[in-house]
């Protein structure tokens, strides 16, 4: 019996490590299989996207060159060969922008008083002899910067364009250098400033693209936008009452910008028109250069304006079921995330659409078609947009027991 007891003791001493191992394995399995699984995180998901609507359909003129832009969109679409051509008086848009860049005004300000002298009278006489558009001036006349801008932009006074540029920069050469720097800083490399600030000389050249860009800049300046929208102005020293020569002003939402014509340029027109999109004002700027004459340039811009306005329409910018990202499962699989519905906006065709993607961490047991985030889309021209749900395309099946046992961390 003593020997039997000794044998049992030996067997117990040999078996206890196995028992301990079994306990440890059971405890490990209980801990591994019972612990909460970590959430799944999105991968390959951009926080923002740039989408594109369908191409715009514009009623382009049959001659010359043209361009259309929606203010705020940053994109200009063009028609015709964008070769620099004389700008005529649309150069005064640039003159006004550059002068205000040097001598800024805020809306409601008249600005400093400018005293005209005999040199300004001589400019009047020179332009009058060339049959250019002018306003009468007198030596000793005092006119505010705002009033001078009105004479430049409403009746298109060539003499005051030069006088204003010389007042701001000291000479026409200095003005031209400053204007070229202004253009270069804004990437308008196809515009050249010639021998005057008025645009009457054919040495000032540009393209419809650059003129449209200058029109946008002008309409984004509160002072210039106010002036070019005025049908007339009263009380101008010496000149008295002046009228806006833009005969489209006030019709079809037209609120600016500038006409131009000369023997070398033919007709040129930069127009701005405002429409409503989802209750928000949206502005279109057009440019038509190298038209046969001014009447053709102005009237030929109207179909561009109205057709551009007609391009505000519902547009599917992302169809339902479009993949916008993925989740990575714990065992390394990729689960697509798709749009639950089509993202549809009332937006201008040929415009860029900004989209923001937001995805949340999800449970490893999340079922297919569960909303896991949102996609928000909005046109660059307005703050109105749409938000749709993003759903999991497939059920996120948890990993197998074997995977969990072999991946404790």
Q: Hey, what CATH topology would domain 58-310 get?
A: Beta-lactamase (3.40.710)
Q: Show the low-confidence residues of the chain (pLDDT under 70).
A: 1-35, 44-52, 278-279, 313, 346-351, 380-384, 400-409
DSSP secondary structure of 215-257: HHHHHTSHHHHHHHT-SEEEEETTTEEEE---TTTTSTTEEEE
At residue 344, the pLDDT reads: 76
Kindly report the number of other CB atoms within 10 A of residue 227's CB atom: 23
At residue 248, the pLDDT reads: 92
DSSP secondary structure of 253-311: TEEEEEEEEETTTEEEEEEEEEEEETTEEEEEEEEEEEESSHHHHHHHHHHHHHHHHHT
At residue 6, the pLDDT reads: 55
Q: Hey, what CATH topology would domain 42-51+316-406 get?
A: Peptidoglycan synthesis regulatory factor (PBP3), Domain 2 (2.60.410)
At residue 158, the pLDDT reads: 98
Q: Say if residue 257 is preceded by a cis peptide, omega within 30 of 0.
A: yes
Give CA separation, 286 vs 96, 246, 364, in Å: 18, 14, 54
Q: Which residues pair with 352 in a beta bridge?
A: 52
At residue 280, the pLDDT reads: 73
The CA-based angle 170-173-178, given to 5 degrees, is 80
Query: Does residue 36 sit in helix, strand or coil?
Result: coil
d(CA 383, CA 377): 10
At residue 328, the pLDDT reads: 87
d(CA 326, CA 203): 58
Question: By the 8 A CB rule, do 372 and 360 touch?
Answer: yes
d(CA 227, CA 237): 17
Query: Does residue 192 sit in helix, strand or coil?
Result: strand
Instruction: Compute the radius of gyration of the chain from its Cα atoms.
Output: 35
Query: Does residue 104 sit in helix, strand or coil?
Result: coil
At residue 15, the pLDDT reads: 63
- Torsion, CA 334, CA 335, CA 341, CA 347, rounded to 10: -20
Domain extents in the chain? 1-35, 42-51+316-406, 58-310
DSSP secondary structure of 357-383: EEE--B-TTPPTT-EEEEEEEEETT-S
What is the b/e burial string over 248-257, where b = at least 16 CB atoms within 10 angstroms of the residue's CB? Answer: bbeeebbbbb
**405 membership: H or E segment, kind and range:** helix 401-406
Question: By the 8 A CB rule, do 207 and 191 touch?
Answer: yes
């Amino acid at each position: 019996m003593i020997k039997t007891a000794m044998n049992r003791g030996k067997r117990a001493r040999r078996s206890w490590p196995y028992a301990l191992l079994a306990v440890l394995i059971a405890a490990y399995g209980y801990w591994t299989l019972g612990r909460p699984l970590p959430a799944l995180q999105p991968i390959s998901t951009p926080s923002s996207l740039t989408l594109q609507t369908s191409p715009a359909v514009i009623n382009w003129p049959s001659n010359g060159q043209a361009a259309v832009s929606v203010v705020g969109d940053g994109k200009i679409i063009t028609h015709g060969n964008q070769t620099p051509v004389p700008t005529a008086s649309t150069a005064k848009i640039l003159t006004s922008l550059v002068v205000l860049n040097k001598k800024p005004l805020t809306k409601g300000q008249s600005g400093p008083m400018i005293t005209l002298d005999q040199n300004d009278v001589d400019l009047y006489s020179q332009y009058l002899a060339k049959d250019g558009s002018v306003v009468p001036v007198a030596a000793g006349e005092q006119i505010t910067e705002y009033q001078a801008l009105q004479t430049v932009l409403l009746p298109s006074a060539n003499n005051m364009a030069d006088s204003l540029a010389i007042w701001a920069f000291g000479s026409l050469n200095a003005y031209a250098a400053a204007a070229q720097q202004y253009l270069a800083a804004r990437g308008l490399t196809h515009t050249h400033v010639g021998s005057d600030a008025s645009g009457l000389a054919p040495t000032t050249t540009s393209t419809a693209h650059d003129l449209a860009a200058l029109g946008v800049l002008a309409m984004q300046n509160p002072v210039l936008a106010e002036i070019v929208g005025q049908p007339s102005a009263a009380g101008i020293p010496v000149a008295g009452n002046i009228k806006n020569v833009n005969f489209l002003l006030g019709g079809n939402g037209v609120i600016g910008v500038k006409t131009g014509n000369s023997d070398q340029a033919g007709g040129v027109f930069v127009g701005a028109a405002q429409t409503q999109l989802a209750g928000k004002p949206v502005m279109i700027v057009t440019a038509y250069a190298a038209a046969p004459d001014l009447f053709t340039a102005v009237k030929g811009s109207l179909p561009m304006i109205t057709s551009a306005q007609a391009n505000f329409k519902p547009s599917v910018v992302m169809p339902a079921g479009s993949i916008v990202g993925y989740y990575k499962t714990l065992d390394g699989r990729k689960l697509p995330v798709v749009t639950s519905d089509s993202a549809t906006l009332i937006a201008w065709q040929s415009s860029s659409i900004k989209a923001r993607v937001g995805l949340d961490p999800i449970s490893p047991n999340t079922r297919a078609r569960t909303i896991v985030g949102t996609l928000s889309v909005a046109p660059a021209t307005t703050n109105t947009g749409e938000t749709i749900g993003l759903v999991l395309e497939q059920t996120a099946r948890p990993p197998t027991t074997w995977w969990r046992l072999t991946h404790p961390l």
